Amino acid sequence: MASDFFVAMRSPIPVNLDKKLVTLVMLVSLVGIGTTVYFSFHYANIIIEERVMDQLTSQSAIRADSIKNVIGSKIQQIQVIADDPMIKNLIKEISAIEDESAFAAKVSERRIDFLIEIQAFETVIGGLNDLENVEIINNDGKRLFSLISTKDKKNFSADPIFIKGKKESFAQLTLGKDGKRKLVLATPIFDNPKDQESIGVALVTANTQTIDQILLNRLGLGESGEAYLVNADRVLVSESRFIDGAAFRQEINTIPVNLCFDKKQNHQGLYIDYRKSLVLGASYCIDDLGLALLIEIDDDEIFEPVSNLRERIILLGIVITLVVGVAAFYLSKLISKPLIRLKNATNKMAGGDFDVRTNITTHDEIGQLSRSFDQMAEKIQDSLLKIKEREDIIKQQKDILLQFSQYSSNYCVCFVDIVGSTKLTSGLSDLQTAKFYSIFLNSVAAVITQNNGVVVKNIGDALLYYFPKTDSEDAEPFEQVLDCCMKVIGAREKINEALQNENLPEIKYRISATFGPVRVAIVATSTIDDIFGSTVNVCSKINSLAKPNTLVIGESLYEKVKKVKNYSFEMISQYEVDAGNKFAVYQVIPNSE
């Protein structure tokens, strides 16, 4: 339409003033509006593409991290099975049998022990909603135990030969024999942590519900957006929004997939997707899992609002130009001044100044033209402001949202604190003080970790730790708590020797321990738990009742260990929690052999 108009403008015209003015006005209007439309929408296209690209890149990183965290946490959970002494004993006992009939009989006989350990595993991790099967496979590739019947082979997600020889934990999305997608997680089982050869593999099969929830979240994906996973074989391993049953059947051989698996690179930009459609997409290469995460939105959807607005403004510009031309023909002298103002405003807008307004208040055609022009400028300005607001929102988004899950259990909690640390460090430099605390805290933490304790955090010159295995009625874990604390006290000589080597003062410290309900906060992106609650508070407060280099325990822990033969207990105080609520505090004394 615009090209036809320019063809008509090439025809000879009279040289009278009215026609010259009409020609001038129409040329100015077309040039001004055309320039404004071109630069405005060219810039708008660039801004929209950049903002959408930033959003897709952010979403790909967030979702990839979420998937890695989900798989990582599940691998940590099944490590509980791999570290279970009973599971190790079962594998060694059964694998030593060479006769096939005796082998099968022993597997059947010891299955109840396996199920008990799995029940304990589910208790430790707080349940696994998407769990479908747990299998134990020995190093010869033989399946020893499974939650499901060994005859129900359609629910097995992998043959034993596929797992045989694995020396590191791994996770893989596969297509189960029942036709459903599965998440296979496996970790090798070592008889001894220092062994190079595993004795078997713990294999957990889970459904992909959690991963699907991450991929199917519509946040930031518009109407045509899609998030999906591709494996190293260039095959789609998640469901497609557009093709039914595409998982493990649809080959994906696009630019971002090839860049990920050939060069370990992420990709952002326009490209042709597996549907042969032009999309704007961002990929995230999860190379440690052999996966590529892609998030894409159709190009048509991204730029459709801009295209529609451009067509309307072009049509509006043509209408405005015609109106101005007709008005100029009849009112050439009256409109010259407002036309100059309009021309100047148009040129400013073409230069990027969208705050300009003509403010012409006449009620003739020029006034209508001016008001329409101002409305157009306001709409363009509003569009750019909305784009800017969207940019600010995207920039304010955090890369990873931490998610906490909390549960409460009864544990032994311990506190080890240096006696008179303020006085000891008063004459030290900052570097010496840092070295002083580093030697103490690291040495004590090493002893605790080696004796089944979990170090939570240091609080100034003190160290807070607890024993997860004391959530039990067995006496042995509680005796191990006392053994660990006494080993910490016994480490004082080596700690002081290390301090002397650094010309630092020797230390004395005291330990307090108690037993009771503890609140445990588990951070999804961290392997370190935090604990809090009244039991932790009481443990820190009774620490001051201990003499240097001794251990004191609360009454609740005393009731658990009072029959332990290796130790004697002497009540040293009554600790008052509040009015009418007291409990005894005991000093632990090792019995001489």
Whether the pTM exceeds 0.75: the reply is no
Q: What are the extents of the domains in the chain?
A: 404-590
Cα separation, 20 vs 82, in Å, equals 91
Indicate the pairing of strand 268-272 with strand 170-175: unpaired
User: Minimum mean pLDDT among 34-38, 53-57, 295-299: which range?
Assistant: 34-38
User: Minimum mean pLDDT among 163-167, 330-334, 357-361: which range?
Assistant: 163-167
Tokens (6 digits) for 419: 């006696």
pLDDT band of 260, cuts 50, 70, 90: very high
- Radius of gyration of the chain from its Cα atoms, rounded to whole angstroms: 37
pLDDT band of 331, cuts 50, 70, 90: low
Residue predicted with more confidence, 420 or 387: 420
Residue 53 exposure: Cα atoms within 13 Å on the Cβ side = 13
Q: How far is CA 313 from CA 48, 306, 345, 456, in A?
A: 18, 10, 17, 64
* Closest CA relative to residue 98, chosen from 163, 135, 136, 142: 142
User: Minimum mean pLDDT among 50-59, 477-486, 571-580: which range?
Assistant: 571-580
Burial category of 404 from C-beta neighbours within 10 Å (exposed 0-12, middle 13-18, buried 19 and up): exposed
* Closest CA relative to residue 477, chosen from 487, 463, 466: 466
Whether residue 49 is predicted with pLDDT greater than 90 in this model: the reply is: no
Q: What's the pLDDT at 375?
A: 81
pLDDT digits (tens, 9 = 90+) for 357-370: 777 777 777 778 88
Whether residue 203 is predicted with pLDDT greater than 90 in this model: the reply is: no
Residue predicted with more confidence, 153 or 309: 309
Q: Quick one: CA torsion of 81, 93, 147, 477, rounded to 10 degrees?
A: -40
Q: How far is CA 571 from CA 537, 552, 562, in A?
A: 20, 9, 12
pLDDT digits (tens, 9 = 90+) for 435-450: 999 999 999 999 999 9
Whether residue 396 is predicted with pLDDT greater than 70 in this model: the reply is: no
Residue predicted with more confidence, 272 or 130: 272
Q: What's the pLDDT at 129?
A: 63
Q: Which residues pair with 516 in a beta bridge?
A: 411
pLDDT band of 282, cuts 50, 70, 90: very high
> What's the CATH fold of domain 404-590?
Alpha-Beta Plaits (3.30.70)
Residue predicted with more confidence, 74 or 417: 417
pLDDT band of 487, cuts 50, 70, 90: very high
Which whole number is the average pLDDT over 77-84?
A: 84
* Closest CA relative to residue 540, chosen from 358, 413, 424, 430: 413
Whether residue 489 is predicted with pLDDT greater than 60 in this model: the reply is: yes
Whether residue 398 is predicted with pLDDT greater than 50 in this model: the reply is: no
Mean pLDDT estimate for the chain: 81
Which whole number is the average pLDDT over 367-383?
A: 80
Q: What's the pLDDT at 443?
A: 93
Q: What's the pLDDT at 198?
A: 85
Cα separation, 34 vs 572, in Å, equals 92
pLDDT band of 6, cuts 50, 70, 90: very low
Whether residue 565 is predicted with pLDDT greater than 50 in this model: the reply is: yes
Backbone angles phi, psi at 239, to 5 degrees: -75, 145
Structural contact between residues 457 and 526, judged by C-beta atoms closer than 8 angstroms: no
Tokens (6 digits) for 460: 């100034």
User: Minimum mean pLDDT among 150-159, 259-268, 522-531: which range?
Assistant: 150-159
Whether residue 421 is predicted with pLDDT greater than 80 in this model: the reply is: yes
User: Minimum mean pLDDT among 207-221, 257-271, 321-335, 540-554: which range?
Assistant: 321-335
Q: What's the pLDDT at 8?
A: 46
Tokens (6 digits) for 499: 């301090």
* Closest CA relative to residue 34, chosen from 316, 370, 361, 383: 316
